[in-house]
């Protein structure tokens, strides 16, 4: 039985969520009308998963999430709006420890329940098996239990990097889904501005969120980080994030290697599709000049394509189970025998540096 605590100030949304969760025989659900009530029920109900609205009176979603992560860490799914503001808040929630989010449909939620419901159920099931790292905000939790006043941790923003002028001779392709934004931060922040190969990323997300994610990472990394919204020549020292709600593929325009957004292909169930990205890269770049990285995420997107890449002479890295929030995608690559290296997320950047010229 999966115990779900759903925190939302809207009586209509709570009723609809009750219908969605009540249709599942292995779900037990409790509701809270706001963050304060949710914190009270956290200990008494002992949920396996929390779904958490962002905008609530008295204690909003971020403040509630902060308390959950300090008092009783468990998988949290944020229920977010598909606005730019909603995207920024959701990315901050993922940084604070939420494992995933679901986009709340606009307008009449009840009319879109047939799409929203199955996605939410799928994500709740994945979250129930998600791994919350024991080190997550450990110092904050200790201070909280000792009653110390908590001050928010702020990271310094690096100075504007000097962009690499030369186009790399190879390419790093990355696939990531559930738990992706913190994993991408751990991957990209250690890399220097002169990293010799472009990095092309398929992160499963709506378009509103990928643009916000690119801006956030660009402010944190020495590498330049940008979203692919139009055909773009690939350059060293830059990481490119495929625009959400579509796919991104590698192409050539003359001698120039490019990344291009394309309409999503229904032959691939997740978007931007890692499988499609990797296979397109293999059409235009020699396998020995490709490195595939598959990180946290539910499902198996990228596993088959990266196994084929390794068989053709490319090199592949799978995030290890010890750090992956959901060891679905990288786990499937390992099971397929397609991983040259199985590494915790904080060691992948160093391996990339050792594999590139």
Tokens for 37, please give them.
Answer: 């009530």
Query: Dihedral of CA 76/77/79/81: which sign?
Result: positive
Burial of 348 (0-12, 13-18, 19+ CB in 10 A): buried
pLDDT given for residue 154 in this prediction: 33
The topology (CATH level 3) of 2-145 is: Rossmann fold (3.40.50)
Tokens for 173, please give them.
Answer: 């392709």
pLDDT given for residue 112 in this prediction: 65
Tokens for 340, please give them.
Answer: 């040259």
CATH number of the domain located at residue range(s) 171-355 in this protein: 3.40.50.180
DSSP state of 164: P
Answer whether 100's CB lies under 8 Å from 179's CB.
yes
pLDDT given for residue 335 in this prediction: 98
Q: Is residue 204 flagged as an active site residue?
A: yes
Burial of 22 (0-12, 13-18, 19+ CB in 10 A): exposed
Backbone φ and ψ of 276, nearest 5°: -65, -40
The angle formed by the CA atoms of residues 173, 124 and 29, to the nearest 5 degrees, is 170
Q: Determine the Cα–Cα distance for residues 195 and 356; give it in Å rounded to an integer.
A: 8
- Same topology, domains 2-145 and 171-355? Answer is yes
Tokens for 63, please give them.
Answer: 């403040």
Residue 40: other Cβ atoms inside 10 A: 11
Beta strand 238-242 with 171-176: parallel, antiparallel or unpaired? unpaired
Residue 17: other Cβ atoms inside 10 A: 23
Domain spans in the chain, listed from the N-terminal domain onward: 2-145, 171-355
Tokens for 167, please give them.
Answer: 């186009």
Backbone φ and ψ of 124, nearest 5°: -65, -45
Give, for all 357 residues of the chain, the pLDDT tens digit. 999 999 999 998 899 899 999 999 999 999 999 999 999 999 999 999 999 999 899 899 999 999 999 999 999 999 887 777 888 999 999 999 999 999 876 666 655 677 788 999 999 999 999 988 765 544 443 444 444 433 333 333 333 333 232 334 899 999 999 999 999 999 999 999 999 999 999 999 999 899 999 999 999 999 999 999 999 999 999 999 999 999 999 999 998 999 999 999 989 999 999 999 999 999 999 999 999 999 999 999 999 999 999 999 999 999 999 999 999 999 999 999 999 999 999 999 999 999 998
The catalytic position among 6, 81, 204, 320 is 204
Q: Is residue 354 flagged as an active site residue?
A: no
Q: Is residue 44 flagged as an active site residue?
A: no
pTM of the predicted model as reported, rounded to 2 decimal places: 0.87
Answer whether 132's CB lies under 8 Å from 323's CB.
no
pLDDT given for residue 106 in this prediction: 66
Backbone φ and ψ of 345, nearest 5°: -60, -35
pLDDT in tens, 271-301: 999 999 999 999 999 999 999 999 999 999 9
Burial of 23 (0-12, 13-18, 19+ CB in 10 A): exposed
Nearest one of 54, 76, 80 to 208, comparing CA atoms: 80
pLDDT given for residue 85 in this prediction: 81
pLDDT given for residue 169 in this prediction: 81
pLDDT given for residue 111 in this prediction: 56
Cα-based distances in Å from 15 to 10, 19, 33, 140: 9, 6, 12, 35
The catalytic position among 81, 177, 273, 320 is 177
Q: Determine the Cα–Cα distance for residues 167 and 160; give it in Å rounded to an integer.
A: 20
Beta strand 238-242 with 224-228: parallel, antiparallel or unpaired? parallel
Give me the count of residues in the chain: 357
The catalytic position among 60, 271, 301, 320 is 301
């Amino acid at each position: 039985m999966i115990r779900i605590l759903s925190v939302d100030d809207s009586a209509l949304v709570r009723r609809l969520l009750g219908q969605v969760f009540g249709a599942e025989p292995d779900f037990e659900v409790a509701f809270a009308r706001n963050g304060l009530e949710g914190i009270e029920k956290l200990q008494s109900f002992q949920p396996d998963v929390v779904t958490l609205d962002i905008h609530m009176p008295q204690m909003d979603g971020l403040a509630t999430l902060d308390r959950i992560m300090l008092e009783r860490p468990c998988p949290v799914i944020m229920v977010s709006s598909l606005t730019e503001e909603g995207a920024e808040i959701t990315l901050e929630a993922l940084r604070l420890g939420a494992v995933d989010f679901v986009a709340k449909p606009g307008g009449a939620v009840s009319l879109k329940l047939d799409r929203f419901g199955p996605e939410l159920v799928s994500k709740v099931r994945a979250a129930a098996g998600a791994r919350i790292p024991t080190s997550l905000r450990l110092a904050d939790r200790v201070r909280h239990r000792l009653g110390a006043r908590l001050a928010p941790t702020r990271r310094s923003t690096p100075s504007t990097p000097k962009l690499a002028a030369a186009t790399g001779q190879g390419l790093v392709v990355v696939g990531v889904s559930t738990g992706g934004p913190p994993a991408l931060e751990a991957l990209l922040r250690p890399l220097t501005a002169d990293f010799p190969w472009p990095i092309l990323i398929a992160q499963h997300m709506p378009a509103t969120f990928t643009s916000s994610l690119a801006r956030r990472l660009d402010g944190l990394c020495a590498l330049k980080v940008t979203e692919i919204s139009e055909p773009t020549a690939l350059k060293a020292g830059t990481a490119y994030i495929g625009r959400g709600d579509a796919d991104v593929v590698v192409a050539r325009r003359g001698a120039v290697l490019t990344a291009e957004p394309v309409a999503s292909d229904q032959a691939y169930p997740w978007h931007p599709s890692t499988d499609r990205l990797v296979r397109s890269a293999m059409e235009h770049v020699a396998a020995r000049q490709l490195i595939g990285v598959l990180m946290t995420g539910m499902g198996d997107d990228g596993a088959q394509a990266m196994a084929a890449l390794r068989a053709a002479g490319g090199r592949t890295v799978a995030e290890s189970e010890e750090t992956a929030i959901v060891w679905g995608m990288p786990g499937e690559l390992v099971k397929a025998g397609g991983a040259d290296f199985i590494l915790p997320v904080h060691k992948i950047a160093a391996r990339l540096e050792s594999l590139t010229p």
